[in-house]
Amino acid sequence: MTKLSVNINKIAVIRNSRGGNLPDVIEAARRIKGFGAQGITVHPRPDERHIRYSDVRQLKKVVTTEFNIEGNPFDPFCDLVMEVVPTQVTLVPDARDAITSNAGWDTVKYRDFLREKAEMFHSKGIRVSIFVNPDIEMVRGAVACGTDRIELYTEAYASGYAADREAAIRDYVVAAEEAQRLGLGVNAGHDLNLDNLRYFISRIPFTAEVSIGHALISDALYLGLETTVHRYLEEVQG
């Protein structure tokens, strides 16, 4: 069954806009876990403009389900991950000033770099996932990087879904099936929402985990956090 991991970065954005600790991202994580989500995702960036490194350390104490830390493996990020030892680290090639993730890794060009990072994280027993576009060559390249999973960057699927969902999913099915054939687990994330999530899972039913933040937290403004988590779980579970 596909797991739902909720990215709580946007909750931290609201907190940071005013200072103080309202809303409390640690309490939010506790509640999201209590509402049934199987994981929590955070993506700390070097400038700590949303999730802070101190948040990650505190979250480790309360997240007893899947804990996924995303980010570009700059040295401070690597030090944090090695200290906290989450369930999973997802390597994302975002620039230091990126507003949001906008591309997957070139797993051929950066093979040696990614393999070195994977070996380091594996030494602590941390599962490694590499963020990739739905490109079969990038999936094949990920194997040589020593990763356990790939995370398919789903922005293109989400953008094309309304016009032609079959065309939008096609490359993802091919990439995911190749990953499965090669023994890699498949995660997915970016712009998945209540409209497009169920179809994605129906076409790639062996998806291990989806990481959803922006859409889920936005829906929670209208529906409430508990109802929203339940709605996303229903879509994941079909």
Annotated binding residues for 3-amino-2-oxopropyl phosphate, written as ranges, equal 7, 18, 191, 213-214
What does the alpha-carbon distance between residue 71 and residue 69 come to, in Å, rounded to a whole number? 7
Alpha helices (H) in the chain, listed in sequence order: 9-18, 25-34, 53-62, 75-84, 111-122, 136-144, 155-160, 165-181, 197-203, 214-223, 225-237
Neighbours of 148 (CB within 10 A): 19
Could you list the active site residues? 43, 70, 190
Yes or no: say if 157 and 176 are a contact pair by the CB < 8 Å rule: no
- The dihedrals phi and psi of 131, each to the nearest 5 degrees, come to -75, 120
Question: What is the enclosing helix (H) or strand (E) of 188?
Answer: strand 185-189
